[in-house]
């Protein structure tokens, strides 16, 4: 019984190219009480591996959080399987705005303590007492209200390439960091302001809205389905799009364009650019914004030091990084001292 991925990313990429089939990139989440996450994890892997599903799925006692791709021809089979799991029946599926057959190259289903690393003690407040969910039309009305404070609940490297106009975008590396900062900044407006928040697909706002209500905020709202569902509703209902730039996504696409606005710049030369890349030096792998000209000049690296290492024979590169871990500095995206033009 195969319970783990056996193909490398390169092998899977080749198979996808040979198959020539369209794939759908999808995300969904659901908070629920799961008695044995490991059993559910194994069940999902076995079923989805048969359907050629690829992606990153977290299972915890509190629910499931999934970002994945599935062959378009297997979508109905996949949906039927989801509906066969009681708490996932009719779960909202966020279909990616821009499709890429190679958005995911492995199937990873992992058991985690939480489906979002929020750093909160859920026993200290009622996580079910959430804010008011609003669709795109009401959201557009709310954010034009002078009594509204609009907050982006994502990290700085997400909001720097795209966000709603007039949004507060905390300069943070993690979701947990933003919670206390926002509370402190709005401490005097817990009763007189409307706190409206959004994120990529809605999952971070589920917990954040309950947390802020617990902290005394009286008027808390969250964008239903996040940026992805907002964009779908805007197109379907011919509404004004108030999102500027790209929506950052956690797969090989790294972003999907929502508007033609480019609100960020290349971290190396400063010219307008919103393309995230990983440093080609595998011992670094820093994620930063790089234009095509700098990518060519720097061999897709973030610094001359990494460029020199990347130019070495592969075996020599392996020796240099032996015993070293790529630290979580890769998540300090755009903060490296080697980058001159950080947003």
Q: Are 137 and 229 in contact (CB under 8 A)?
A: no
Report which secondary-structure segment, H or E, holds 305: helix 304-310
Q: In what order do the strands lie in the sheet with 255-257?
A: 162-164, 243-248, 255-257
Angle between helices 37-50 and 75-83 in degrees, nearest 10: 160
Q: How many helices (H) and strands (E) does the chain have?
A: 11, 14
**Sole residue written with tokens 């783990």:** 4
> What is the predicted pLDDT for the residue at 330?
52
**Count of other CB atoms within 10 angstroms of residue 271:** 12
Candidate list 199, 301, 302, 306, residue with the active-site label: 199
Q: Under CATH, what is the fold of the domain 122-232?
A: Oxidized Rhodanese; domain 1 (3.40.250)
Q: Candidates 2.60.40.1080, 3.40.190.10, 3.30.70.100, 3.30.465.10; correct CATH number of 9-111?
A: 3.30.70.100
Between residues 183 and 326, the one the model is more confident about: 183
What is the per-residue pLDDT for 343? 59
| Beta-strand relationship, 219-223 and 194-198 | parallel
Q: Determine how β-strand 243-248 pairs with β-strand 255-257.
A: antiparallel
**pLDDT tens profile 37-70:** 999 999 999 999 999 999 999 999 999 999 999 9
Q: Mean pLDDT score of the chain, rounded to an integer? A: 92
Q: Could you tell me if 286 and 324 are in contact, meaning their C-beta atoms sit under 8 angstroms apart?
A: no
Give the mean model confidence (pLDDT) for residues 81-88: 97
Cβ atoms of 105 and 12 within 8 Å: the answer is: yes
- The encoded tokens of residue 123 equal 């026993």
Backbone angles phi, psi at 90, to 5 degrees: 60, 25
The boundaries of every CATH 3.40.250.10 domain in the chain are 122-232
Q: Which of 56, 94, 49 is nearest to 74 (CA)?
A: 49
Q: What is the pTM of this model?
A: 0.87
Clarify whether 273 is annotated catalytic: no
């Amino acid at each position: 019984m195969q319970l783990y991925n056996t193909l490398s990313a390169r092998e899977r990429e080749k198979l996808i190219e040979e198959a020539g089939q369209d794939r759908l990139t999808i995300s969904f989440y659901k908070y629920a009480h799961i008695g044995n996450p490991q059993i559910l994890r194994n069940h999902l892997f076995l079923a989805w591996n048969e359907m050629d599903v690829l992606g990153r799925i977290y299972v915890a006692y509190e629910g499931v959080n999934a970002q994945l791709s599935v062959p378009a021809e297997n979508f109905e089979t996949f949906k039927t399987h989801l509906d066969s799991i009681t708490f996932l029946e009719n779960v909202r599926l966020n279909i990616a705005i821009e499709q890429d057959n190679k958005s995911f190259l492995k199937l990873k289903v992992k058991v985690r303590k939480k489906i979002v690393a929020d750093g909160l003690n859920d026993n200290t407040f009622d996580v079910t007492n959430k804010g008011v969910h609003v669709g795109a039309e009401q959201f557009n009305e709310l954010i034009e209200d002078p009594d509204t404070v609009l907050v982006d609940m994502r990290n700085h490297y997400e909001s720097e390439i795209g966000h709603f106009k007039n949004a507060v975008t905390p300069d943070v590396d993690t979701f947990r960091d933003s919670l206390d900062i926002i509370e402190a900044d709005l401490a005097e407006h817990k009763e007189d302001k409307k706190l409206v928040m959004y994120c990529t697909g809605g999952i971070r706002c589920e917990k954040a809205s309950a947390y802020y209500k617990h902290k005394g905020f009286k008027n808390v709202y969250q964008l239903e389905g996040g940026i992805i569902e907002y964009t779908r509703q805007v197109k379907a209902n011919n509404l004004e799009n108030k999102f500027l730039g790209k929506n950052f996504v956690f797969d090989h696409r790294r972003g999907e364009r929502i508007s033609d606005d480019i609100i960020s710049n290349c971290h190396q030369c400063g010219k307008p650019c919103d393309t995230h890349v990983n440093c080609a030096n595998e011992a670094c792998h820093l994620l930063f914004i790089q234009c095509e000209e700098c990518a060519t000049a720097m061999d897709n690296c973030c610094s001359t030091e990494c460029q020199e290492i990347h130019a070495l024979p592969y075996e020599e590169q392996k020796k240099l990084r032996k015993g070293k871990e790529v630290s979580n500095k890769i998540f300090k995206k755009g903060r490296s001292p080697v980058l001159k033009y950080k947003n």
